[in-house]
Amino acid sequence: MPYIIGLTGGIGSGKSTIAEMFQQLGVPLIDADIVARQVVEKGSPLLDKIAAKFGKTILTEQGELNRAALRQRIFHSDQDKQWLNNLLHPAIRQEMLAQFEQIQAPYVLWVVPLLIENRLTDFCDRVLVIDVLPEIQLERAVQRDQSNADTIKNIIASQVERPTRLAYADDVIENNLPLIQNSEHLRQQVQQLHQRYQQLAQQKEH
């Protein structure tokens, strides 16, 4: 099992941006959102179970999961939400562990937007938080998603509060300054953390 760095942060905090900087140094990434999609891809046993429970309207015409329809469904029923979580979480966990096992590198960056919310910190050897001021977060997320401010505010409100997230952090990268001004500094921080993580991974092996 590689050394596992959990990378987290709120919506639009810059997780993907920073993860890419690690990737450019050759660090393998596992994206929890992608794994969550893989376990319910077309033809998977889990998708069949979901369709059996909620009906064919939960599928798109192409037979894929209609996420908007599913969201609607569980939004209106805590029981359904619970049922879905009980189905998905063990499968995601299993797939996650299988993917960790495949990693050959000393450490892996596990990108998990809801690391704290879903109580996944126990899987991590270390937690790296991307921190950003709420007003900057809102502005960037609105712009990226072409979404309105209220929608983003609701998502921010549904996520753990900034001080709580920071309390779990072993390392923090602050991402308030614009990239044009700060990307070199961010790269330096990533490089330093990369060296530290390689050392920590090596220490753990012995």
Q: Does 12 bind ligand ATP (CB under 6 A)?
A: yes
Q: Which residues from 115-154 bind ligand ATP, rule CB under 6 A?
A: 140-141, 144
Asked whether position 13 contacts ligand ATP by CB under 6 A, the answer is yes
Contact 35, 158 (CB under 8 A): no
Report d(CA 141, CA 14) in Å as an integer: 10
Q: How far is the CB of 102 from ligand ATP (least distance, A)?
A: 23
Q: 16 a known binding residue?
A: yes
In the chain, helix, strand, coil percent, each to 5? 60, 15, 30
Which residues have a Cβ under 8 Å from the Cβ of 115 and sit 6 or more positions away? Answer: 6, 7, 8, 32, 121, 124, 127, 168
Cβ proximity to ligand ATP, 67 vs 144, nearer residue: 144
The CB-side HSE value for 79 (13 A sphere, CA atoms) comes to 2
6: nearest Cα among 169, 164, 176: 169
Annotated ligand binding at 12? The verdict is yes
Could you tell me the smallest distance in angstroms from the CB atom of residue 36 to ligand ATP?
A: 13
Q: Using the minimum distance from each CB to ligand ATP, give the nearer residue, 27 or 141.
A: 141
Q: Does 66 bind ligand ATP (CB under 6 A)?
A: no
Nearer to ligand ATP, 102 or 183 (CB): 183
Q: How far is the CB of 199 from ligand ATP (least distance, A)?
A: 26
- Helix, strand or coil for residue 96? helix
| x/- map, 152-181, ligand ATP, by CB under 6 A | -----------------------x--xx--
Q: Is 14 annotated as a binding residue?
A: yes
Residue 6 touching ligand ATP (CB under 6 A): no
Beta carbons of 58 and 50 less than 8 angstroms apart: yes
| Cβ-proximal residues to 158 (8 Å cutoff; 6+ apart), any chain | none
Report the interface residues with ligand ATP, using CB under 6 A: 9, 11-17, 113, 140-141, 144, 175, 178-179, 182
